[in-house]
Structures are given as C-alpha cells and as structure tokens.
A and B are shown apart, each in its own frame.
Chain A
Amino acid sequence: MSKHVVVIGGGVAGLEVAGQLSRAGIEVSLIEKESKTGGHLNNWHRLFPDRRNSIEVKEYLDGMTHNQRIILLTNTTIERFNRNKGHFSITTNEGRELTADAVIVATGFDLFKSARKEEYGYGIYDNVITSADLEEMFRTGKITLANGSVPDTIGIVHCVGSRDEKVGNFYCSKLCCVTAVKQAVELREYLPESKVFCFYMDMRMGGAFYEELYREAQEKWGVSFIRGKVSEASETIENKLLIKVEDTLAGRPLKMKLDMLVLMAGMEMSEGGEKIAGLGGLNTGENRFFAAADNHFGSNKSNIEGVFFAGTCTAPMNITETISHARAAVVEVIDYLKDGK
C-alpha cells in the first residue's frame, strides 16, 4: 500500500520535497497557506550569485510538482495536528481531515519586519525601502523615489533585524550580505549615474562565488563599502534622507544625505512555523527556528518521530542549500517509511 506524506509549506523546500517524494512513488498532500506556491521566490527578481531569473527556479519546481501523486491544497492552513499509533491526523482550516504516515514541515521564514527598527524610518520616511521592495522595483524595471524621480545616491543597510540584540535576533541571517552586493550591482546596472554605499558590520560572503561578486561590485561597479552600522535616518527639508553612521575603519562618525535607503531585512521563524510548533509540540531553538534533533546527523529530524524538517524553517539558507536540505529530508522520510513505521 502506498504511503502518504503531508508536506506543510509550498515554498522552495516544500515543492522540492513534494516533487522528490512523488518521484519515489509516495503520495503527497502539499499544504500552502497562500493562493499559489513558490513562497518568497515569487517576490524575488534575480538570484545571487549569478543573477539567474527566479522564474527559472520556479519553473523547475513547478515541473517537479505537476504530477498525479501530489494533491495541492492552497489557501489552506492547519488547525489540528495529532500523532496516534504511528500515524498523523491533520485538520485543515476548511475542515478537511488528512491522515499521514509522515509529515515534513517546510514552513520557511518570514522577512524581518523592518518597521521594528524604528530608527531607520521604514513606513515613515517615503524613500526608506526594504530589499524585497527593491526586488519588486527590479521586476517592474522602475527604480524611482516616491515622487517618481530617479535616485542618485542610494544607501544599503546590512543586518536589519540580524545580529541585533535589541530586536532579539542574535543570529546572522547569512544571505543579506550577498543580497546587498547583488542589489548594489543591479542598482549600478539600472542607474549607471548613481552612487551606491553599503553599510556593513562584517561582510559574510561564505557561499560559492559570493566573494567574486563582492570583488566585482567594488572593481567593476564602484560600490562603496563602509564598515559601520547606521544609527538613525531622518528626513531633511529637501525630502532627502540624512543618515548617521560610524565609519569604524576611518574611526569617525559620518553623516550622509541619500535619496534612497534600502534595508536588508533578515530572516525570522515564520508565523506559520510558530503555529505548527505549538500545534505539534515541536521543539524550537533559541533563535526561534525549529530545533533539529541533531545539528550534525539529524538536521532534518524533529523531536517527534515521523515529523521532519526541510529548508529555512530550521535556519537561514540560500536556495541551493534549501534544495539540498529538502532532498536530505526526503531521504530521511523514505528511510523512515521503509522500516514499516
């Protein structure tokens, strides 16, 4: 008899998991709270480090999941989640009862709500935007200020909501540095006359080809990298943004007028993930993401037998790592089901 796995979350990890499970002959119910799958991928234009169009990745994932073994339930959330005698019974918001042999949680992440860093004025000053807002601009091809004019000087703030005790996030979101470098390069491509400044604490370019992109940003595109944290932003009478930052390499405070300020919003445990953690009694770590059963040998395993994790619901990851983590989760599930549990 065919096994049935419920996958919670239809982002990159959930789609990859569902696709790989179905390839292995396992029936899948894929639950997505939004009206369409893809998660944050839908909001991104080009991906680092090679600036591939995100649509290509989405097309690959859609291709994986278009098969008869996968039942896609969009606009669906989970209201009840119980384990009984090795099986899981799940109740959706529409009252649908699902029974599963195993569950994969792939609830992803939420972008840090940048308005929480009040000193940067997101939602208050017209031309303070987030990395996600800028991606939307890249998609439309119009990089403009609130009054419709083209920005000349643009600042990018790293670590917004990451490595920040004040907001309760000690961890590094890992991808904001490379996103900032990618977006800085793209800004210079779109607006060759513009000046772009990145304000960083440390440049954490740990992925393949990240360092190369960082070098290109400096050498080819003339992006200025200033080591120091922006302390506050305010608006001048000319509607420009005045930022204060400490240039820690020059060893002095700095004030700068900008047309636009882009906040590199970090990654946080998703609200959906928190709900599932509560319903299912799943452990979370100090960083509020799901806690893996073992950091080295069991990063896909949870504290409950038969429940597995995939992707950024456990920690910040890029798409490559997310897909690898999802595939690893599939291996764990197949192994678990093979034992006849």
Chain B
Amino acid sequence: MIIKGKKAVWNDYQKEIADNNYYYVRSCVRQNFFPGSETAFLKIMREELNKDVYEHPCHTTCTGIGYHGDIVPVETTMTVVARQFALMTEAGYENLLPSCITSFGLYTEILDTWHHFPEVEKKVRKQLKKATGREFKIPKNLAHASDVIFKFRKEIGAKARYKLINKNTGEPLKVVDHIGCHYAKMFPSRGIGGAEYPYVLTGMIEEWGGQIIDYPERRHCCGFGFRQYLVQANRGFSIACSKEKFESMKPFKPDMIITNCPGCPMFLDRWQYVINEMEGKRYGQNGEGIPVFTYEEVAGLVLGYDPWDLGLQMHQTDCEPVLDKIGIEYAPEDKYKLNILPAYSEKHNLINV
C-alpha cells in the first residue's frame, strides 16, 4: 500500500461543506434501526459545536427507497424532493443536510439532472405549484451529515474523552469503514475522497486515534441494496453480500465497523447474528462478532456519551468488546432498562431547539 498515492486521490476529491445554519432532514428508517444516532448528531451539532440546525416537522420521505426499489417513478420522486426544498426555502435555510445516504444521493442526482435538463426542473416546479402551491430555491449547499462530522472532526477530537485506542496495548483500534453506495458511487466528485478510496469516515477514525483497514471487499455492497432485500425472494443474496464482506475483512482482525448509511449498519449488524445462527460463524476476535457503529455513535462514544443513551443496546452484535477495549465506562445492568431515557432527550424538545 502506497499511502502517498491514496492521499493524492483524497486531495482530488474535496467538497464545499457549509459552516453553519443547516436544514436537517432525517432518514425514514434510521430512527427504527438505530434510534440514538440522529439524536446524538443533533446534540453534537447544537451543544458541542454550537451550530444552528433546523428541522421541519412537515418533512417527509424523499421516496429514495421506493425510487431505487423501482416502485416510485422518477417524476414523482422529483416532485416530492421539490417539496422538501420548498419547506427549506420557507424556513429561510439554504444548506441542506440529509441524514440518509440515499437521500443525499437522490438529492445530488436530481440537482444534477436539473442542471443538465432545465426543462425537467421547470416541469417539476409547475407540478409542485399545482399540487401544493409551493415554490422553492435550489439549495446553496448540499452535504451529508457525515460530511459535516468530517468537517468538524478536529473540534470533536479536541473535546474527546476517549480515543479509539486499545487501552491495554496502546495500539490504535483497527476499524473497517463502510461507505453507503449512494454516497459517492454515482457522483464521485460529491464525496470526500471520491468513490474508490473514500476519506469521509477514514478522516474521522484517523483523527480520533483509530486505524483504517483496507480489505479486498471494501467496496462491496453491505447487503441492503434495496431490491436484494425488499424483494423477499432475494434475501439470500442480501446475506450472501454481507457474508462476502465479513469473510474478506476477518483476516485483518478488525475491532469494529463504522458506517455512514442507514441500511449498512443494520445489515452488517443483524446479518452477523443470522450467519451465526445459520452456520455458527463469528467474524470478530475471541468468538465474538464485529461491533458495527454509525459515525454519530462513534463520535458520541469519543465524546464520552453514555453508550445506552446512544442506543447501543439496540445493536444485535454486542458492542461491549469495543467499549471494553477503549475503556469506556458504562453500567452493564442499565443496558436493557428501557425506562431510562437519554438525559438530553428529556431536557429538550428535539425539534428545532
């Protein structure tokens, strides 16, 4: 591996990320999969970084799952997205900040389509006006939420209570980064580090003390892949994809996986359990699984947030091996006490604090 070559690629793919005043759009599915992540993101942005992040209660799905699942026609999708833009315009914001990778990819694709085919934009504007009476401005800046955490990774690192370092050995934790396919594979220039050697999560991990593993199936789909999973008959293919990745990363002995997509942590986490049930195989060390995290969870852990406030009890592959390696303090007995709500969700109305 020639690191200099990788750094040259990373330098080729930089993007502009707004500094403040974000219009945040949540994912349809993340709050079910890993409910602490978006909450943690808002806490980090508002309380740690003092940023203005606005959420609109009328925001809906972007239809990305339906679009990529061949259920929703593109024109419908574009009109729904136009409505999101209209809500943002009405709220007085210009910097769109999607939580979901597929939404980010879809917004990018639609903006690019409109750029090349202005007549399509005109038609969608007309349709939106007719259906809802709304009008919109094109976002001034579009960045995925992981882009923003990447942008402020040093500020988060400066406040870190923990480093991604094995407290017993002093060695950096070995981390697998898995980037959602819709982040940069469609538009490499819109992702930090491009599509082949993305830097967005690598930059966070390096800044927070860990070490990234480059394993052969790094680019492979996690197994979500929409049609692979949404069509029940294809689910064997979905788990086969995940297994392909686990088999490939296992020789590198990863301590954990970090992801930036709604579906990837879900599938990489849950399918490990299923593979173990089906074949009795585990891919981590000491007969354990490989804990899978969202980048917000990792940022929260680094900042010293309580693992159960971050929702780590919702993971099917236990996260404790990583918590113990880092030396994070937690109360095992509180893991499944569902009446314990995160301290910060009690304090604040989470929408538009």
Q: Name A's B-contacting residues (CB within 8 A).
A: 115, 118-119, 121-126, 232, 234-237, 242
- Please name all residues of chain A whose beta carbon is closer than 8 Å to the beta carbon of B4 when the two chains form the complex: 123
Task: Check A126–B1 contact: CB distance below 8 A.
Answer: yes
Contact of A234 among B8, B9, B218 (CB under 8 A): B218
CA distance A150 to B214 in the complex (A): 24
How many Å lie between the Cα of A127 and that of B197 in the bound state? 18
Tell me the complex Cα distance, A121–B2, Å: 10
**Are A124 and B9 in contact (CB-based, < 8 A)?**
yes
The 28 listed contacts between A and B (C-beta, < 8 Å) are: A115-B8, A115-B9, A118-B194, A118-B195, A118-B196, A118-B197, A119-B196, A122-B5, A123-B8, A124-B1, A124-B5, A124-B6, A124-B197, A125-B2, A126-B1, A126-B2, A232-B219, A234-B214, A234-B215, A234-B216, A234-B217, A234-B218, A234-B219, A235-B214, A237-B215, A237-B251, A237-B252, A242-B216
With a cutoff of 8 Å between Cβ atoms, the chain A residues found around residue B252 in the complex are 237
Q: Is the CB of B218 within 8 A of A115?
A: no
Q: How far is A4 from B30 in the complex, measured between Cα atoms in Å? A: 75
**B39 shortest CB reach to chain A, Å:** 36
The reply to whether B9 and A118 form a contact with Cβ atoms under 8 Å apart is yes
Chain B positions within 8 Å of A242 at CB level: 216
Measured between beta carbons, the chain B residues less than 8 angstroms from A118 are: 9, 194-197
**For chain B residues 222-260, which have a beta carbon within 8 Å of chain A?**
251-252
Q: For A235, give its contact among B9, B195, B216, B219 (CB under 8 Å).
A: B216
Q: Which residue of A lies closest to B7 (CB)?
A: A124
The minimal Cβ–Cβ distance linking A201 to chain B, given in whole angstroms, is 21
Q: Which residues from chain B contact A124 at a C-beta distance below 8 Å?
A: 1-2, 5-6, 9, 197
Residue in B5, B197, B216 with the greatest tally of chain A CB atoms within 10 Å? B216
Identify the closest chain A residue to B252 (Cβ).
A237
- Residues of B near A125 (CB, < 8 A) are 1-2
A113-B157 Cα distance, complex, nearest whole Å = 37
Inter-chain contacts of B218 with A (CB < 8 A): 234
Report how far A122 CA is from B4 CA in the complex, Å: 12
Compute how far the CA of A123 lies from the CA of B218 in the bound complex, rounded to whole angstroms.
18
A233's nearest neighbour on chain B, judged by CB, is: B216
Shortest C-beta distance, A212 to chain B (Å), equals: 38
How far is B220's CA from A242's CA once the two chains are assembled, in angstroms? 13
- Complex Cα distance A126/B3, Å? 10
Number of residue pairs spanning A and B whose beta carbons lie under 8 angstroms apart = 42
The residue on B at minimum CB distance from A255 is B216
A113–B147 CA distance with the chains assembled, in angstroms: 29
**Judging by beta carbons under 8 Å apart, are B196 and A235 in contact?**
no
Given contacts A126-B2, A232-B219, A234-B219, could you give 7 more A-B pairs where the C-beta distance is less than 8 Å? A118-B195, A121-B5, A124-B5, A232-B196, A234-B214, A234-B218, A236-B216
Q: Which residues of A contact B9 (CB under 8 A)?
A: 115, 118, 124
- Bound Cα distance from A242 to B251, whole angstroms: 14
Within 8 A of A (CB), among B192-222: 194-197, 214-219
Q: How far is the CB of A272 from chain B (nearest CB, A)?
A: 23
CB of A116, distance to nearest CB on chain B (Å): 10
A115-B8, A118-B197, A235-B214 known; A123 and B251 CB under 8 Å?
Answer: no
Residues from chain A with Cβ under 8 Å of B194 in the complex: 118
Residue among A122, A237, A242 with the highest chain B CB neighbour number at 10 A: A237
CB distance from B199 to the nearest CB of A (A): 13
A residues less than 8 Å from B219 (CB atoms) = 232, 234
Give the nearest-CB partner of A231 in chain B. Answer: B219
CB distance from A240 to the nearest CB of B (A): 9
- A125-B218 Cα distance, complex, nearest whole Å: 14
Q: Which of B1-55 contact A (CB under 8 A)?
A: 1-2, 4-6, 8-9
Residues of A within 8 A of B1 (CB): 124-126, 235
Instruction: Give the complex CA separation of A232 and B216 in angstroms.
Output: 10
> Which chain B residues border A123 with CB–CB below 8 Å?
2, 4-5, 8
A234 and B216 alpha carbons, distance in the complex (Å): 5
A121 cross-chain contacts in B, Cβ below 8 A: 5
Assembled-state Cα–Cα distance A126/B251 (Å): 20
The smallest beta-carbon distance between B225 and chain A, in angstroms, is 16
Complex contacts, A232 vs chain B, CB 8 Å = 196, 219
* Residue of A124, A236, A242 ringed by the most chain B CB atoms within 10 A: A124
Q: Which residues of B contact A122 (CB under 8 A)?
A: 5
Complex-state Cα separation, A121 to B197, whole angstroms: 10
B250 nearest CB neighbor, chain A only = A237
CA distance A235 to B3 in the complex (A): 13
Residue of A nearest to B3 (CB): A124
